[in-house]
Structure 1
Amino acid sequence: MKAKTAIIYTRVSSDEQAREGYSLQYQEEQLRKYCTHRDITIIAHYKEDYSAKTFDRPEFNKLLSFCKKNQSEVDYLLFVNWSRFGRNAGDSYSIIKQLGKLDIEPQAIEQPLDLKVPENKMMLAFYLATPEVENDRRSLNVRSGLYRARKEGRWTTHAPVGYRNIRTEDGRAMIIPSDQAELVREAFREYATGTYGINELCKKLVAKGLKSGRSSFNELIRNKTYIGLVYVPAYKDELAYYTKGIHEPLISEKLFYQVQDLLEGRSPNRPTKNTGKEELPLRGFLECRQCGKNISGSASRGNGGRYFYYHCTCGCNERFKAHEANKMFLELLQSITPNPAVLEMNYEILMDEFTSKFKSAKQQTIKLDEDIKKNNQRIQNAQHLMLDAELSAKDYKEIKVKLEAENDLLLRRKSEVGNGEEDFKEYLRSGATILRDLDARYQNASLKYKQLIIGSVFPEKLIFEKNGFRTNRVNEAVQLICMNNSQLDQKKSGRAKNFLATSAQVEVR
């Protein structure tokens, strides 16, 4: 009589192994003992570390392929119990049929069934349904637990870049800043300057060690987790919303929303592409005088060296030497000479104005905090009314969603009001010093700060012409501070000229 043959199949997923003790080694030992005692020859062993929610598993697919190629050589497919075989009843029946067509009998050694006996199919249905019911119940419990945790402000999944997962003393999930935190802060600070584009800043920070790709970086600088909020997804009848997290914020709300404004296009003049080259600081701030498109810049080789030029991106003939343009721009900055009396008067006016505003800001912050607290109390009151059956669940839900949306707006307004009083005097004095020697500051600055100066003084693109620079708008505060007394009088009568009128010329080639 021909000896029977079998394929043995062992499967475990990490959570099952910890929970049920079905290690791959244990399963293999039991199956080999079973085959030894019954004189069954093992012709193949497939072991898998994969979920049994579906049969789309790498090793099981190889097993099926082997069975189809060697169907006359295989009598049994053996596994420890039916939960090792599958956890989806419908899919399991389908695979059993496929194996039956190949004359291969699937069998669980701890739950043996003679499938030729009709009554045993009832037990098979029970064995197959039990793991699926366990999966569904476990999934429901996990979802419910995760939802409760999120409502409590706890981060329950893999920590975002800049944080790492830990467990508190009572075993609860939490995130704390990681060694990537400072790079995340730098991402927000640098983007807020308006100097970098998304891809360029991502590339720069990845080179420094930030663990992020382009698409995930886009999500990173839009992620409210970094201001201490946790996203609570929609669940049953509850709508999605944000709640205050128990983790430490990495950045201020003010900085976060400043970045969001830039992302949404509410930004001052800044280069469309940062050059990364000291020889081309004006690239991205220039507009073609012929076609109105952006002026770019690049290097050309010739006469044994590299020479930089600014040129139109649209293919017209606008082209001029970068070093000459840069020199003339520096001369333009040298022509920006603040009127000391106007500068001092401006300083005093701003100090008076902002001192008053800071007092008002404190009052506004107190009022916003009171409004947020009041809305939270209203939500709690509505919840009590619902629990006492004096308010329907639908009405409670509408009230809750409305008040939480109001709180989100109030928090944003609070971040915009800010305080900043401590630093303002220093910023104001520093600004006055920069204006007094703007050309020297520009000349000694890094590329990033050169571009910040350009964008601050000239909110719109600069155009080079044979008779000098032209732009649609100059920062009006700078222009006023640079006027002498006679020009101030002319300003009142509408006859003043700005400092661009006497700027240097650039040779156009």
Structure 2
Amino acid sequence: MKNVILYVRVSTDEQAGRGYSLRDQEQKLLNYCQNNNFNVLHIFREDYSAKTFKRPEFKKLLEYCKKNKKDIHQMIFIKWDRFSRNTAESYQMIGVFNELAIQVNAIEQPLDLTIPEQGLMLAVYLSMPEVENHRRSLNVISGMRRAFKEGRYVGYAPKGYDNGKDAIKKPLLIPNEDAKYIQEAFELMATGNYRRNEILYKLKAKGFNSSKTAFAKVLDNHLYYGGVFIKAYKEEKETIVEGIHEPIITKALFDKVQQVMYNRKRGNQKVPKAHNENFPLKGFLLCPVCNKQMRASTSKGRTQYYSYYHCVSPCKGRYTSDEVHDMVNAFLSDINFDKQFQELYFEIIKEKLTEETKQKALGAKHYENLNSIEDKLIKLQDLYIDGDMDKAGYESAKQRYENIRAELKSKEASSEDSKKLVELYKTATEKFVAIDYQYDNSDLEHKRRIIGSIFEKNIQFENKKVRTTSLNPILNEIASINRGLRAKKKKDLTKNLVKSLMVEQRGVVSNYFNSDLRLLQKK
């Protein structure tokens, strides 16, 4: 009676897609052994890919064979692809078993390897699974690249997203609860005032979970602004296409972060040091004399310590932290919204936006045109499939109709954007109510974020006042209107009064809607 060991193997995708199972293989092998009067010493069960022999259970099998080689006559399995899908490694492993005087064989593809001609069949049995593996790999690569080109990311979801499905059950990235941390990470890095690890520690304190290595990949991932990066492949160059998933940040914010990190790598921008609670404006102030960035430090007097923002030699400009902080607080009071004023101000904004939305409203004719284009595209496809149109003519006509459809769709998007602006302005203007109080009662991080969002460049000051040359134009107008309102009694505030003051300030009512909204979105 021969002593044998059995080896059964299945990979997860084979079991799900092809109906293989360990139990089925094992039963077939046991029946074979019973019919041939074989004694089964041990059964090794594997749930692992056969691309290599670095499989947990196969390693145990090999160790078992080395220890019990005198008692084992054969190792048997169902087919040769259960043994391996790598031709070169298969021959080497068969050599190992030959040295142990143990025969290896497949019951459904039996071979007598003492016969030279049987070696040809062995080569066929071993190479077929490898070719199949290679073909499957190429199909996977092709399918993934096709999905990427359509803007559909099919890999493992990065931080801030979950892998989900769309309406047609295809893969789609869906923002999760970490999305807010990702957005904050980009906003903090864009200020240029924080180190990457410093940002990570801040986010971890709020509940974000990530390693340093994983977080390092976050800030240069195109997926967060809606881009899908496609690697170079054969003759195709690497490219970035617009994704169909919901972005977490804007492309402008992503580009700004890349510039900050690039400047640091090239040495054009120093990595910021940890900030001091006593100097929330450090890194924001420019010297009014030499226009260089000011430093901050504390010196000891006879009886107490004194804090200063100061310039370096040869300018040596120096200002106490108290007087600089008072200047900034006075400025914030200028752009501060009174609640009643904010409500009237927003009503005017809402009227203007509503008027613009009505002007952009799409009529029935627009949707008739869009449906007509959709019908033409379907008929065009039918003509091409039926052979009534050649490929060149089909591609040309298809491109023309798709361009028209894209233009009609863009009008719909523009109309929807106008509606969303109403809520955007409401949320943004509400955040400027009591901005000076918010600043005074914020921690260091939020103070710096408030200042960084208000000033497009560094803060400049002279004659104990903050200069507004680097200020967002919208806030400049707000400060001017506020000064006009201070001369009026609160009970006299009306929509017409606020509107008249806005008109006086260089036509701000019309200019407002063409201004940069970045500040309001960031606040």
What's the CA shift for 1:8? 5.7
1:461 to 458, 463, 485: 458
Q: Retained in 2: the 8 A contact 1:79–1:107? A: yes
Cα offset, 1:152, TM superposition: 10
Partner of 1:50: 48
Q: What is the TM-score normalised by the length of structure 2?
A: 0.59
Equivalent of residue 473 in structure 1, options 470, 473, 477: 470
Per-residue CA shift, 1:141-193, capped at 9, x if unaligned? 8778889999999986655654355799x9x566696xx72432564478569
Structure 1 residues 15 and 479: alpha-carbon distance in aligned structure 2, compared to 1, 3 A threshold: closer
Corresponding position of 2:516: none
- Counterpart of 2:436 in structure 1 is 439
Check if 1:423 corresponds to 2:423.
yes
Deviation at 1:280, TM superposition (A): 3.9
Q: 1:358 maps to what in 2?
A: 357
Q: TM-score, structure 1 length as denominator? A: 0.60
The one-letter code of the counterpart of 1:443 is: D
Encode CA deviations 1:318-343: one digit per residue, 9 max, x unaligned. Answer: 8876555334422444566999xx99
Partner of residue 261 from structure 1, selected from 218, 240, 252: 252
Amino acid aligned to 1:50: Y
Residues 87, 128 of structure 1: 8 Å contact kept:
yes
Q: How big is each residue's C-alpha offset from its partner over 1:413-448, in whole Å with a ceiling of 9 and x where there is no partner?
A: 8667712354367458647x74xx653453245656
Any gaps of 5 or more consecutive residues in structure 1?
A: 493-509
Q: What is the alpha-carbon distance in structure 1 between the residues aligned to residue 24 and residue 312 of structure 2? A: 66
C-alpha distance in structure 2 between counterparts of 1:322 and 1:367, whole Å: 64
User: What does the per-residue CA deviation read over 1:186-210, in whole Å, with 9 as the maximum and x for residues that have no partner?
Assistant: 6447856966979466654455445
Partner of 1:181: 176
Quote how far apart the aligned CAs of 1:461 are.
0.5
The amino acid that maps onto 1:127 is Y
How far 1:107 sits from its partner (Å)? 2.3
Q: 1:13 aligns with which of 11, 14, 37?
A: 11
Measured at CA, do residues 275 and 424 of structure 1 come closer, stay the same or move farther in structure 2, by a change above 3 Å?
same
Secondary structure (helix, strand or coil) at the match of 1:265 reads helix
Equivalence for 1:326? 325
Q: 1:115 offset after TM fit, Å?
A: 0.6
Residue 23 (structure 1) aligns with = 22
**Aligned-pair distance for 1:86?**
1.1
Q: Which residue of 2 aligns with 1:96?
A: 94
Alpha-carbon distance change, 103 to 324 in structure 1, aligned in 2, over 3 angstroms: farther
Deviation, structure 1 residue 52: 1.0
Cα distance in 1 for residues equivalent to 2:67 and 2:302: 71
Deviations 1:217-236 (A, max 9, x none): 347673477xxx99999999
CA contact (8 A) 2:457 2:470 kept: yes
Q: Distance in 2 between matches of 1:392 and 1:427?
A: 54
Tell me the matched-pair count.
461
The Cα offsets for residues 59-118 of structure 1, whole Å up to 9 and x where unpaired, read as 556767898999999865544431221124454345435655776533234543211113
Q: State yes or no: 1:116 paired with 2:120.
A: no
Whether 2:83 is the aligned partner of 1:85: answer yes
Q: Does 116-125 or 57-66 show the bigger shift?
A: 57-66
| Alpha-carbon distance between aligned partners in 1 of 2:232 and 2:379, rounded to the nearest angstrom | 22
Task: Flag the 1:477–1:188 CA change in 2: closer, same or farther, 3 A.
Answer: closer
Q: Distance in 2 between the 1:80 and 1:99 partners?
A: 17
In 2: Cα distance, 1:23 partner to 1:203 partner: 47
> Post-superposition shift, 1:374?
7.2
State how far apart, in whole Å, the 2-side matches of 1:313 and 1:106 are: 81
Return the alpha-carbon distance in structure 2 between the equivalents of residues 81 and 149 of structure 1.
Answer: 35
Query: Superposed, which structure 2 residues align to 1:377-396 within 5 Å?
Result: 380-393=378-391, 396=394
